[in-house]
Amino acid sequence: MKRILAAVLATLAVAGAAQAQEGPSRLVTVLTAPEPQTQLMAMVLTMQAAEQGATPHILLCGPAGDIALADAPESATAGQPPRDVSPQALMKAIMQQEGARVEVCAIYLPGRGEGPEVLLDGVGVAEPGPMAAAIMAPDTRVMSY
C-alpha cells in the first residue's frame, strides 16, 4: 500500500512540475501607453509569447486604442527602430496567430463618439464581464503597459 501511495504521489509531483514548467497557456496584454515605442514593445513581447505557445489576447484602452483604428494616426503606423515595424503592423501579425484576440476597451469608442465601424477588421469591443474572466483565469498571465 505504501508503494502504491508513493507511486501516486510521485506521479502527481511530476505532473505538477511539468504543468508549472509549461506556464500559463494564455497571455492578456493590457495596453494603455500612448508612446509608440512602448506600444511596439508590448506587441513584440506578445508576439514572442505567442510564438512560444501562449494564446494572445490584447486589450487596448485610452490612447493605445488608436492602434486598432482603420484610419490610425501616424504614431500607430510609423515604423520604429531597429526593424522599422509599427505597433499596428505587429498587432496585425499577432491577429493572425491561432486563437488571438484584439479588443478595445468598452468605453474607448463611446469616448470618441464613434462606433465599431472605425476599427480594423477583426478587432472587437471588449465586454467587461468576459474580459474580467479572461484576466482572472488561472491559465492566464497578464502584462500591462
pLDDT exceeds cutoff 70 at 122: yes
**CA–CA distances in Å: residue 85 to residues 43, 50, 91, 96:** 10, 18, 10, 16
pLDDT by residue (tens digit) across 59-107?
Answer: 999 999 999 999 999 999 999 999 999 999 999 999 999 999 999 999 9
pLDDT exceeds cutoff 80 at 29: yes
The pLDDT score that the predictor gives to residue 4 is 38
If you average pLDDT over residues 36-59, what whole number do you get?
97
Among 100, 129, 21, 112, smallest CA distance to 66 is for: 112
The pLDDT score that the predictor gives to residue 24 is 81
Among 47, 34, 32, smallest CA distance to 93 is for: 47
pLDDT exceeds cutoff 70 at 53: yes
For the domain covering 23-144, report its CATH number.
Answer: 3.40.1260.10
User: Residue holding cell 464581464?
Assistant: 129
pLDDT exceeds cutoff 90 at 1: no
The pLDDT score that the predictor gives to residue 21 is 52
Report the C-alpha gap between 89 and 95 in whole angstroms.
10
pLDDT exceeds cutoff 70 at 134: yes
Report the C-alpha gap between 111 and 44 in whole angstroms.
28
Q: Average pLDDT, whole number, for the chain? A: 89
139 Cβ contact partners less than 8 Å away, ≥ 6 residues apart: 24, 25, 26
Helix axes 36-51, 87-95, angle to 10 degrees: 20
Report the C-alpha gap between 108 and 6 in whole angstroms.
55
The pLDDT score that the predictor gives to residue 23 is 72
Burial of 38 (0-12, 13-18, 19+ CB in 10 A): middle
pLDDT exceeds cutoff 60 at 20: no
